[in-house]
């Protein structure tokens, strides 16, 4: 699974991939840097992947062993849905990352980016039987729009992919029970911004629960109305945020573009 290959192509990565793929690589590398900047990393674990434009069965993922703050557009590894590296790379990929991400990419051709984290807030909510609660405006966007996948162990078994896909269904957000968070988007921007709001909502819930006071939740119809309001207009989530986030990534360290 994900064995190294050599002598595929020549020259720099930028020279041998399409303009569309290079642009995706830059955005994905920026996403990794932003995940690091926002403090969502777990050493060299976790992963963000993006489908290669025009190649539905190929996606880009991080080289295993690099910190997110080190990742560049050129260092991303291109693999197929069987886990085979399909372009020259000196790196391997995380097997658990392949299992989780390939499950979503294979089942949901409408989604082009998958982001998975092990943040403290996400892991804590994933261990609560109640899951994510509609406690504030940020949480309402996820009302009836979060999937749950029960823990089966470290995601190394290929047959778990079918259950991950089945549990995700037509959602873009999933809480991996006793594990962490997953968001998927029609763009890299959408996956990142959904994770931003999900992470913030998880931490807000934990703070509210920690007070020990009675939790106030609006009626389900009010929560659903708020969720629908977030979806009005048809704009892909993150469209307005992403240029600003790229400026933030550039200000921190523009070497992700290399």
Per-residue model confidence as pLDDT tens digits over 200-255: 999 999 999 999 999 999 999 999 999 999 998 877 898 999 999 999 999 999 99
Q: What is the pLDDT of residues 89-120, one digit of tens each?
A: 888 887 767 889 999 999 999 999 999 999 99
Which residues, in sequence order, are bridge partners of residue 34? none
**What phi, psi does 117 have (nearest 5°)?**
-135, 160
Residue 37 DSSP SS3: helix
- Give the neighbor-by-neighbor strand order of the sheet with 55-61: 77-80, 55-61, 47-52, 113-117, 180-185, 173-176, 146-149
CA atoms within 13 A on the CB side of 33: 26
Contact 96, 14 (CB under 8 A): no
Domains of the chain, CATH where assigned: 13-253 (3.40.225.10)
Contact by Cβ (8 Å): 64, 44: yes
CA distance 246 to 256: 10
d(CA 123, CA 53): 32
């Amino acid at each position: 699974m994900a064995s190294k290959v050599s002598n595929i192509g020549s020259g720099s990565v930028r020279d041998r991939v399409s303009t569309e793929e290079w642009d995706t690589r830059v955005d994905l590398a920026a996403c990794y840097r932003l995940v690091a900047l926002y403090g969502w990393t777990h050493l060299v674990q976790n992963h963000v992947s993006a489908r290669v434009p025009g190649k539905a069965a190929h996606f880009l993922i991080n080289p295993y062993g690099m910190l997110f703050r080190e990742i560049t557009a050129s260092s991303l590894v291109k693999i197929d849905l069987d886990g085979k590296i399909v372009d020259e790379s000196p790196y391997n990929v995380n097997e658990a990352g392949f299992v989780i991400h390939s499950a979503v990419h294979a089942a949901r051709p409408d989604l082009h980016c998958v982001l998975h984290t092990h943040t403290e807030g996400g892991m804590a909510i994933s261990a609560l039987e109640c899951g994510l609660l509609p406690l504030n405006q940020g949480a309402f966007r996820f009302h009836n729009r979060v999937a749950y996948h029960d823990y089966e162990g470290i995601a190394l078994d290929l047959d778990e992919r079918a259950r991950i896909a089945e549990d995700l269904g037509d959602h873009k957000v999933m809480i991996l029970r006793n594990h962490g968070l997953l968001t998927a988007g029609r763009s890299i921007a959408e996956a990142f911004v959904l994770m931003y709001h999900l992470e913030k909502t998880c931490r807000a819930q934990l703070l509210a629960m920690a007070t020990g006071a009675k939790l106030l939740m609006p009626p389900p119809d009010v929560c659903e109305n708020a969720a629908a309001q977030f979806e009005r207009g048809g704009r892909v989530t993150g469209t307005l945020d992403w240029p600003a986030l790229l400026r933030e990534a550039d200000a921190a360290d523009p070497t992700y573009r290399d």
